[in-house]
Structure formats: structure tokens, C-alpha cells
Amino acid sequence: MGIINADTVRNETAYFWGSRTSTIDWCEENYVVSNYIAEFWNTLTNLTTVILALLGIYSSIRYNHGKRVTAMYAGLLFVSFGSMSFHATLKYTTQLLDELPMLYLCAISLYSLVEIDKDVKFGLKLPAMLAMFQTAITLIYIFWIQHPAFHQAAFGLTALGTIFYAYKRLVQINPCNKTQRALSRAHLLGHIGMWGGFFVWNIDNIFCHQLRSYRSYLGFPFDALLQLHGWWHILTAYGSTNCLLYVHLIRLAWHKQDQLFAVHYYMGMFPYITTAQPKKVD
């Protein structure tokens, strides 16, 4: 998603992946750090999402929280690999791998909230309907409306459904104070990550020329501090992970298991759900 930046200096056939075929190019100068990676920093910063997704997959499998929860984190991992492929190559095919999995991840989260009980209520009807909608969006985006605004609108529509059901389930579970605090924290951090990422994403688009000038002055590796699309990856990784944690916690509370688990931070930075530590008794 984003604007089309013309990078005529570095986007040459002499480099490993050849000419850019994607409809979008970002503010990071192409093939500056490596001849094999078109946008080095935009590719590298996706590792944040990879780590967070793997922690979520590990947590959901280890504590048997269900295939639907595992599928959410696996979807996030798929998004990160798609984004890495896109920024590394700047090809149209990998651009689709970056953008479309966002839709699928949101649909999986929506399904996890609607089918919150262990026994499915709607059978194959709901996943079939969601699959048909996502397939239609995919085909329209590939063959007809190849514009990021269409993808953004489709994503926003699916996200609204997810937000609606998240609020509905929150009202239904009436969580305890501990779970409510964890949900509030995940909700707040989710918003900070997503809106913070959206802010730097726009700054990167609007002030690209100035940012390139400042980065040229700073030089490698300090210029990475002004690679704002990379910061968008990091911020939205935290934002989207906290959104998934929110859904994860609601499902645990729905099944009366939330007292057994809590959100912890690997290396003090990467959130995931693990067993709650018992309170010390003096």
C-alpha cells in the first residue's frame, strides 16, 4: 500500500532482481546496501513481525489454544514473509504477496471471533462465505482494479466486521479485572502501533525528498533511523500482534481459561501469552 515513488537511479536491470514491476516503490533508495535486496531496511524490519508471529504460534500450540488461534498467528507470519519478498524484489507478484495476506489475516481473526465456541455454529457456511469474499477481492484486485485504494477499502471493510465482533464478545464475557487490564493494554498498544505506524508511513510518503537528503548526510548505518517505512513495519508489527492478543484473550475468557494465562514479554520486548505466574503469599 502507498504511493508510487519513481526511483530512476537505482532501479536498473543491472541489479539482481532487474527492473521494478510493482505498481509501488517506496522512499528507501533501491539497491544501496546490497545488489541482492532492493530495499534492504524495509526487508530487514519485517523480522520483527516474524519473531512476534512465531511466539504466537508457539504459545497457541504449546497450550492447546486451538487451530483458529494458531491460524491467526500463522497468517501474521505469512504477511511478514510476503512483505519481505516484496521489498526485497519490488516485483508485482511479490507485491500481491505483501498486500493480499493482510485481507486473509483479518478474515481469519473475524472467523475466530464469530466461531468462538469449540463446536462450530455455522458449519462450512461461514468459512465458505469468507473465502468467496476474499477470492472475489483477490481476483478483482489482480485482473481489474489494480489500485491500492481498492485493497485498502476491502481491508477496512473486513476490519470493521472484526472490530464489531470483538466489541460484541467483550460485552458478552464480562471479564475479570485482571483480564480487563490485559485487554485494555492490548487495545491501547494495538492503537498506538497501528496509528503510530500510519503516521510515519505518511511522513515517509509526503517528505520523501527531504528524508533522502537527510539520510545521505547521515550515511550508513545511521541513515536507517530515518527509514520511516521500516519503522512502519516495526510499529504495525506490535500493533497487529496486540490486536491478535486481544482476540486471543477474548477467546480464553470465553472458555473461562483467562485466569490461567497472562501476557509476558520475551526479552522485555516481544509480547506473547503464557501461563500466569502464581501470586506470592507472605
Residue ranges for the known binding site are 25-26, 28, 30, 39, 87, 229, 233
Output the known binding site for Zn(2+): 87, 229, 233
Query: In the block, which residue shows the cell 500466569?
Result: 276
**Residue 208 and residue 120: Cα distance in Å, rounded?**
49
**Max intra-chain CA distance, the chain:** 70
User: Are 78 and 86 a contacting pair, CB within 8 Å?
Assistant: no
**Residue 106 and residue 156: Cα distance in Å, rounded?**
9
Query: In the block, which residue shows the cell 536498473?
Result: 12
* Residue 270, SS3 per DSSP: strand
Output the known binding site for Ca(2+): 25-26, 28, 30, 39
Query: 238-250 burial string, b = 16+ CB within 10 Å, else e?
Result: bbbbbbbbbbbbb
User: Are 23 and 10 a contacting pair, CB within 8 Å?
Assistant: no
Q: What angle separates helix 228-254 from helix 47-62, to the nearest 10 degrees?
A: 10
User: Are 28 and 42 a contacting pair, CB within 8 Å?
Assistant: yes
Cell triple for 171: 460485552
Query: 55-87 burial string, b = 16+ CB within 10 Å, else e?
Result: bbbebbeebebbebbbbbbbbbbbbbbbbbbbb
β-bridge partners, 270: 266
